[in-house]
Structure 1
């Protein structure tokens, strides 16, 4: 598929999500290529007079929103949000997600958890029958990271998953990628995850794991861009 077509399949759900935004809303702004299109469109609405206040999920989104003149707040000042709009790396039929391809999974999950609703926007390539085609991002503190990675591998083996767990490196090749919180990201190349809920609990129990990219029971609506238009998935 040509890049221009891919962009249009992302832009359509981003614009559709904007229809769920009403004046006075407190919004969470996601991170990633599709979320970026939503923030761009929101900036146009704000410029035209839309009154909203937003919490970004990453420094990159914060910089984008500020450049567009979108009013920003923090979860300390505004701890309860009405809606978060964010992308996803995978979406299964139960609206369970894999997120974190951009390395912002911790802040994305905190912001989504503070929101009354979460809308996911994505192109149709993100739909899967079973989670696990995309590597699972897992945020890990730097102290004892190798030991934590070993515990992650053992937890995966317990669920019949034996793919490698690899530290994510910077694209520039000059060391490991660090999140906005200063942590490492390991990508678990497990293949299909047969029980995401149980595996998520197992990861939460590992000391050193800050957060994982399984977003379970958080999304209320997914807007999927397809050649035939935007399709809705609900939980």
Structure 2
């Protein structure tokens, strides 16, 4: 080995030893992240407002709350970044009937969990109805009127009092009313109409007009309309 090659060899060995001697990176002080758990109970037929909804995670049990009365129970926990957690929800301490536990790995970005009770990856129908034109022409008062959906999937409820789980809400206060419906299977053909105040005389396409039709797809279905198909661009 020449003197020059020996010199290069010694530099390489020194470099490798220096790197090996470095202390491993320490876990940062802010290694926990907030995780928001949301579980939608609207698809669970045996749920009542007086029931206790809890989250079972990492050998701990936490009460969840429904502050908005929208059937979505929520809880925020401070969990370890990068760790995988297994969890389930319960009604009155009876765990949901799932084959496996749900799983979550805490990420460094926003951690928001949105689940449906007793379902994993359910088929979801998300309806969005723009009421702007109806408000403009005086057919709908956003302060006093309500909007619901009636169809063959919920028994064509005869009145306002029979459709309490099918009211649409103006979540973002933008005159667009919305609702998510689960429990339907891919391939189902549904018929439906939107109604003001649960009144068939104030439903879309009055005077025997056609029902809306849709064939359900697997996964998330997003359906956007203007009420009575009026005022859409």
What TM-score, normalized to structure 1? Answer: 0.29
Larger helix proportion of the pair:
1
Q: Which one has a bigger Cα radius of gyration? A: 2
Larger strand proportion of the pair:
2
What TM-score, normalized to structure 2? Answer: 0.29
